[in-house]
Amino acid sequence: MPKYTFRVNGRAVSADSWDPAQPLLYVLRNSLGLHAVKFGCGLGQCGACTVIIDGRAARSCSTPVSQVAGRSVTTLEGLGTPERPDKLQAAFITEQAAQCGYCTNGMIMSAKALLTRTPNPTPEQVKQGLGGNLCRCGTYTRILSAVLRAGKA
Amino acid sequence: MNRRDFLRTSSVVVVSFAFDGVMPETAAPQTTNPGKPIDPREVDSFLAIHADGAVTIYTSKVDVGTGLNIAMAQMVAEELGIPVDRISVVEGDTALTPDQGGTGGSTGITRGGVELRQAAATARQALLKLGVNADMTNVGAIAGGKRLDLKVDPKAPLKNPSSYTVVGKPVLRPEVRKKCTGTTVFVQDFSVAGMLHGRVIRPPSIGAKLISVDEASIRSIPDARIVRIQNFLGIVANDEWAAVRAAKSLKTTWSESQTLPGSDMLDRHVRASAVERDETLVNRGDPAAALAVTAKQLSATYWWPFQSHASLGPSCATVDFRPEGTTIWSASQGPHGLRANFARVFGIAEDKLRVIFLDGSGSYGSNGNDDAAADALLLSRAVGKPVRVQWMREDEHGWDPKGPPQLLEIRGGLDAENRIAAWDTQMWLPGNVQGSRPLLAADDAGIPQPHGRTAGQISQNGDPPYAAPNVRVVVHWLKDTPLRLSNLRAPGKIANVFAVESFTDELAAAAAIDPVEFRLRGLTDPRAVDVIKRATEMIGWEARPSPNSRPQQGNLRVGRGMAYVRYKQMENYVAMAMDVAVDRSTGKVNVRRITCAHDCGLVINPDGLRNQIEGCILQTLGRTLHEETTFDRSRVTSVDWKSYPILSFPEVPTVEVALIDRPMLPPMGAGEAATAPVAAALANAVFDATGMRLRRVPLKL
Ligand code: FES
Ligand code: FES
């Protein structure tokens, strides 16, 4: 089986895949045990599967594993831990910016990429920047507050 | 499970050893009967005190992102007198938790929490008798790991709310920390040893019959195995992507038929549908006679379409089917109901079936979770291994049971003083059929099962909450409806309040009276008056009749609207006001600001409550602006986020919530009530801005 080597959360990993078209999502979740990334639609429409690849937010459901070879992937697990959440995660916790939490991975990862480009976004920039991330529970206003909080901090 | 001898420590309370504090919550191998008490009459069914003084509470009410767990923990902490962070929650495990009913209808607090509180109050009295001190610091030493062997005492004294220190505080939900760091094990993330991944190939149209399967079409996909039981067709594979690919690639032929009316002009279809029976819900005075003599008369028809739960993550379940005991891991909101139904349908003894709740993607009633579990069960039974099934996006949007279509016609009349003299609501609603909702997998596999139908209490709130001497509400319960139904958040109430509160606004406009004033004239209940005044003050309500005589703001027309509900006519009081801007050239409705005043009696956790209210508002905003399940003659055609859009981030308005706490009143649930006024407040605001009355959802200008 072909092997793909890339970096995940700072560590070199290699993953086998019988299919070069296998989306990164399945490799992260099932081969590497990184479950923060979520399957929402598999169609690039909801953002639940967002990870950061070489500094940019990417949809792992529509990124073939073969395209990730040699690149650097960051998942939610790579930001912080429950004991030591990173600044953005801490802001989400302070704002209690989750209901079911299924969208949370994508929201945080998209916001992370946004804050890298735009460290102090306006509310409108956050709304547009996270425009591809859906939240069915309607936690948007809290997510907005959390991202703004992290931006200011 | 360790058991030790009885230890008699007082004449009143029998304490016996129960558990060592470590419950096999999700671990495999599973046992369907771990021996923990679950009888809801027993205190031990609800509470376990551990040697270190920590407490586990057990409840069948599950937290689907609502903050129910922390609210329950606060209620128990308060009553027991121990710190809330010493409490952990085991939820929705048929082998461990007492059956307090499924989670729905905003009963998590009113039944789930209140029963736990009574168990805690009973326990506290017993513990004090055992010599535990008032601040419970020695509770572990004296009662840890032991059973209290006590019946829940419905008269056990409750703490006076004026001395509350935990209830009423915005305690953080501990699970949010896990969710934000990717450490929550969702049902989608759960696995057991030897587990295979399954996908189900649903028929291309409702009721289609499987004619043939071309096994060779997936030969290139490693380890993918086909399971076929009549029209039930699934794939299992070691590798999830292999299961996905195989399910997509498998060539099949089906015989199809056209059984649906199509969603275009579904309202006409509904209006013409055969009626099973009429039910008169309210009959006060003589509306027909009064209408005939009223000074002004109006009538209007309102429409609400089928809608999907549209859970962000598709439904998922893992099932380990074994003759000696089957375990289902599911995010179902009704683990006990799921067990009872599955036992009947699949011929498994109830005591050989265990359902364990795990967090899932938010559901707002019954989404596809039960069906995914049935899929996994059939696959696991067929292959003799645990199987995890996660639906694909089109499965969820296409096949989840739907919120019902609702048609309402209202006639009303004003007297010479512009008061409501007569009101007549007629509703056309899908009628109930006794029995459980059919499971897709069982139907496909030819397994006989009940074909029950209900969407919950969908006929409530069809009458105006305002003084009116002559009122009639009649439901025409229809014999049939095209799609499977489900109790989707605030079942029926959102559409009914949309109609009633829009019509109230129409009456106010006909009377040329400010909408707030018009409502207040018909209200005496001070709690109702409070929420209306509060919500409208917060938005800076400009008192004048609608529509707005000066709506122009550049290309936009601006306006404000409001709506009020007393949920189920007996629970929460909610009022909501909105500022909108409508672009007349594009028809785009931009909601700028929403204010909401909310009174649900005693507030347990104000921050959790706000989170729920905000969610109610934003989710329903999306339902009102965008959502409609569409279908042709054969199948649902709104099967992804493009064809079934929900509220998106750029559309999100500012939301301000005022909580009106009533510490001396009982607590009410809050997962639904604030959904109810949203659609009407929005339609009323659009009317104010544009003079156009929108009576169909999704609202289109
Ligand atoms: S799962 Fe990737 S965008 Fe929805
Ligand atoms: S919190 Fe449930 S989808 Fe966002």
Q: Are residues B146 and B196 in the same domain?
A: no
The SS3 assignment for B701 reads coil
- CATH 1.10.150.120 assigned to domain A87-152? The reply is yes
Residue B669 has pLDDT above 80, yes or no: yes
E strands, B447-587, where?
Answer: 470-478, 552-553, 556-566, 573-583
CATH class in words for A3-78: alpha beta
pLDDT 10s digits, B502-521: 999 999 999 999 999 999 99
8-state DSSP, B595:
E
Size (chain B), residues: 701
Determine, for residues B181 and A130 on separate chains, whether the beta-carbon distance falls below 8 Å. no
Q: Write the CA distances from B315 to A17, A49, B178, B336, B366, integer angstroms.
A: 26, 16, 21, 18, 10
pLDDT at B428 over 50: yes
Tell which residue, B680, B698, B493, B499, has the closest CA to residue B580: B680
Same domain, B118 and B248: no
Range with lowest mean pLDDT among B18-22, B54-58, B137-141, B617-621: B18-22
B640 within domain boundaries:
yes
State the DSSP code for A10: T
DSSP conformation letters of B638-664: --STTTS----GGG--EEEEEE---TT
- B108-153: pLDDT as tens digits: 777 878 888 999 899 899 999 999 999 999 999 999 999 999 999 9
The residues lining ligand 2, judged by C-beta closer than 6 Å to any ligand atom, are A 98-103, 135-137, 139; B 65, 312, 362
B367 is written with which tokens? 């989404």
CB B432 within 8 A of CB B453: yes
Chain A nearest C-alpha distance from B158 (Å): 30
Beta-carbon separation of A77 and B181 below 8 A:
yes
Q: Whose CA is nearest to atom 3 of ligand 1?
A: A44
Lowest mean pLDDT among A55-69, B92-106, B551-565, B581-595: B92-106
Shortest CA distance from A86: residue in chain B: B181
Locus of tokens 């055969």: B274
| Domain stop point among B360, B375, B399 | B399
Smallest-distance ligand from the CA of A136? 2
Centroid of ligand 1 to alpha carbon of A45 (angstroms): 6
- Together in a domain, B644 and B524: yes
Strand partners, B598: B574, B659
* Residue ID of nearest Cα to ligand 2 atom 4: A135
Residue A44 buriedness (CB in 10 A; 0-12 / 13-18 / 19+)? middle
Residues B165 and B235 occupy one common structural domain: no
Specify whether B73 is located in the same domain as B210: no
Confidence check: pLDDT of B103 > 80: no
Residue B465 maps to a domain: no
Q: How far apart are CA B283 and CA B289, in angstroms?
A: 13
Q: Which residues make Cβ contacts (< 8 Å) with residue B373, sequence separation at least 6? A: B317, B319, B328, B330, B332, B338, B342, B389
Question: Which chain A residues are Cβ-neighbours of B244 within 8 angstroms?
Answer: 26, 42
The residues lining ligand 1, judged by C-beta closer than 6 Å to any ligand atom, are: A 39-42, 44-49, 59, 61
Cα separation, B319 vs B331, in Å, equals 12
Pocket probe for ligand 2: among A136, A140, A144, A147, the residue whose CB has the most ligand atoms within 8 Å is A136
B454 in a structural domain: no
Q: Residue A104 Cα, ligand 2 centroid: separation in angstroms?
A: 7
Domain co-membership, B105 together with B143: yes
Q: What's the angle, vertex CA B123, arms to CA B121 and CA B127, rounded to 5?
A: 120
Same domain (yes/no): B196, B253: yes
- Judged by CB atoms closer than 8 Å, whether chains meet at A138 and B393 is answered as no
CB spacing of A85 vs B239 below 8 angstroms: no
**One domain, residues B33 and B143:** yes
Substitution target in A100, A104, A124, A133 with the highest count of B β-carbons within 10 Å is A100
Residue B432 lies in a domain: no
Based on the domain organization, do B203 and B240 belong to the same domain?
yes
Do residues B353 and B339 touch, judged by C-beta distance below 8 A? yes
Candidates B64, B169, B179, B180: best to mutate against A (most CBs of A within 10 A) is B180
> Among partner residues B617, B622, B649, which is closest to A127 by beta-carbon distance?
B649
Q: Which of B399, B416, B436 is the last residue of a domain?
A: B399
Q: Do A138 and B615 touch (CB under 8 A)?
A: yes
**How far away, in angstroms, is A40 Cα from ligand 1 center?**
5
Q: Do A99 and B640 touch (CB under 8 A)?
A: no
Q: What does the DSSP 8-state code read for residue A138?
A: -
Q: Quick check: is B447 in a domain?
A: no
How confident is the model at residue A153, as a pLDDT? 62
As a whole number, mean pLDDT of residues B490-495 equals 97
Domain parsing of chain A, residue ranges = 3-78, 87-152
Indicate the pTM of the whole model.
0.95
Domain termination residue (choose one: B153, B180, B207): B180
| Interface contact A107, partner B, CB < 8 A | no
Instruction: Give the confidence band of B27 by pLDDT, cuts at 50, 70, 90.
Output: very low
Q: Which ligand is nearest to the CA of A51?
A: 1
Closest CA to B443 of B363, B346, B366: B346
Q: What's the domain count of chain B? A: 3
Distance CA B579, CA B593 (A): 5
Query: CB–CB of B181 and A85 under 8 A?
Result: yes
Q: Which residues span the domain enclosing B647? A: 493-690
Residue B239 to residue A35, Cβ atoms within 8 A: no
Encode pLDDT of B433-456 as tens digits. Answer: 999 999 999 999 999 999 999 999
Nearest CA in chain B to A101: B179
* B361 contact A CB<8A: yes
Residues of chain A in contact with residue B178, where contact means CB-CB under 8 angstroms, are 82
Q: Is the pLDDT of residue B611 over 60?
A: yes
- Residue B89 sits in a domain whose CATH number is 3.30.365.10
Q: What pLDDT, on a 0 to 100 scale, did the predictor assign at position B26?
A: 46
What are the angstrom distances between the C-alpha of B461 and each of B40, B469, B571? 32, 17, 11
Which residues from chain A sit within 8 angstroms of residue B242, using beta carbons? 18-19
Q: Are residues B163 and B223 in the same domain?
A: no
Residue B689 confidence (pLDDT): 97
Query: For ligand 1, what atom is nearest to the CA of residue A61?
Result: 2
Is the pLDDT assigned to residue B236 strictly greater than 70?
A: yes
Residues within 8 A of A (CB atoms), B 291-310 only:
310
If you measure from the C-alpha of residue B49 to the centroid of ligand 2, how many angstroms do you get, rounded to a whole number?
33
B270 assigned to some structural domain: no
**What is the SS3 assignment for B521-544?**
HCCCCHHHHHHHHHHHHHHCCCCC
Interface mutation target, options A4, A22, A51, A99, chain B, most CBs of B under 10 Å: A99
CA distance B673 to B679: 13
Looking at the structure, tell me whether residues B525 and B554 fall in a common domain: yes
Q: How confident is the model at residue B30 (pLDDT cuts 50, 70, 90)?
A: low
Same domain for B194 and B96, yes or no, is no
Q: In this structure, are residues A127 and B639 in contact, taking their beta carbons and an 8 Å threshold?
A: no
Chain A residues 57-86 with a CB less than 8 Å from chain B: 75-77, 79-82, 85
A130 touching B (Cβ < 8 Å):
yes
Kindly state whether residue B580 falls inside one of the protein's structural domains.
Answer: yes
Task: Scan residues 314-343 of B and list those with Cβ closer than 8 Å to A.
Answer: 314
Rounded to the nearest integer, the mean pLDDT of chain A is 97
Residue type, B554: G
Q: Do A98 and B65 touch (CB under 8 A)?
A: yes
Which residue has better confidence, B61 or A129?
Answer: A129
**Sheet containing B14-17: which strands, arranged edge to edge?**
B6-8, B14-17, B146-147
CA distance A100 to chain B (A): 4
Residue B403 CB-half CA count within 13 A: 26
Average confidence score pLDDT of chain B: 92
Query: Residue B5: what pLDDT?
Result: 31
Q: What's the order of all strands across the beta sheet hosting B47-49?
A: B47-49, B55-59, B87-91
